[in-house]
Amino acid sequence: MITKAETVMGTVVSFMVDTDNLSDKLVSRALDEACAELHRLDDRFSRWKADSELSRLRDGEVNTTSTLMDEVFELCAHACNISQGYFDPWAMPGGFDPTGLVKGWAAERALSVLAQRGITAALINAGGDVCVLPGTTYQVGIRHPQEPDALCAVVATTSAIATSGIYERGDHLINPFGEDVAAVSATVVGGRLALADALATALAVGGKDVLYLLEGLVGLEGFFINAEGSLFKTSGMVFAEVAP
């Protein structure tokens, strides 16, 4: 097993690669390439870099968009649609802001770089949003929203898991409908990380309304925790059995 932690996108991205019978050299080169991909995407999609394509788009400095930006547009439109507007990058103050989806999407792309280099078992944790190569089950802990050094659940995942919350980074989530944010922490499991990331934000904002939508989305489960410390989950959400 080879691990790596890279500071990028305003957070730290952790890699864990099962070396199998691959050479350490091949794996570390693949990890370098995956990190380069993350930095490349950060340069293009960072809201905090004035010369990123996203910043220039938000400032109205560009009229045409790159293929990558178009891909992000499409994913955002899809996420907005299936979340019934609870994830709405077009409703954010200051203009189009896909930040809630880009980190997961970038991690997915980094993971595919690893796969292209012949790696068959790997996990990437992009600052709390996790994706893994299919074929291996990984136990992923969910941070307890009120106890920084404890978990509130353990979930076995074979694809992606994303958590959105208001206890780190001073992030204040925005409800596109102008109402209060329903949860202090929300997690979505399954499918691809770009959408799980966006839907976790939607679930944190919309609470029960979005949990209800998740019930109807095949392959996706989720749960959220409100400020009173109650947990609500979709009917198919399964936790690893850990007695507290």
Partner 1 sequence: MKGTYSLLGATFAGFVGVLMLHSPSGQSVPVSKVTSPTPSTTTSSSLQQTPPGSTTTTTVVPTANVNGSAVGPLENYSFGKMAVKVTIANNRIVGLSIASLQTLESYSQQLEQYAVPILKSEVLAAQSTKVYAVSGATYTSEAYAYSIQGALDALHFK
- Of residues 154-173, those binding partner 1 (CB under 8 A): 154-155, 161-169, 171
CB contact at 8 A, 107 and 124:
yes
Shortest gap between Cβ of 33 and partner 1 (angstroms)? 20
For partner 1, give the closer residue by CB, 218 or 243. Answer: 243
Angle between the 193-206 and 67-82 helix axes, to the nearest 10 degrees? 40
Is residue 180 packed enough to be buried (19+ CB in 10 Å), middle (13-18) or exposed (0-12)?
Answer: exposed
Site for partner 1 in 30-89 (CB under 8 A): 73, 76-77, 80-81, 84-85, 88
Distance CA 127, CA 139 (A): 17
Site for partner 1 in 193-222 (CB under 8 A): 208-209, 211-212
240 binds partner 1 (CB under 8 A): yes
Distance CA 224, CA 11 (A): 23
CB contact at 8 A, 182 and 174:
no
For partner 1, give the closer residue by CB, 77 or 238. Answer: 77
The 10 Å Cβ neighbour count of residue 206 is 27
Shortest gap between Cβ of 25 and partner 1 (angstroms)? 18
175 binds partner 1 (CB under 8 A): no
Shortest gap between Cβ of 49 and partner 1 (angstroms)? 15
Shortest gap between Cβ of 16 and partner 1 (angstroms)? 6
Site for partner 1 in 111-150 (CB under 8 A): 123, 125, 127-130, 138-150
The angle subtended at Cα 145 by Cα 100 and Cα 226, nearest 5°, is 85
Shortest gap between Cβ of 225 and partner 1 (angstroms)? 5
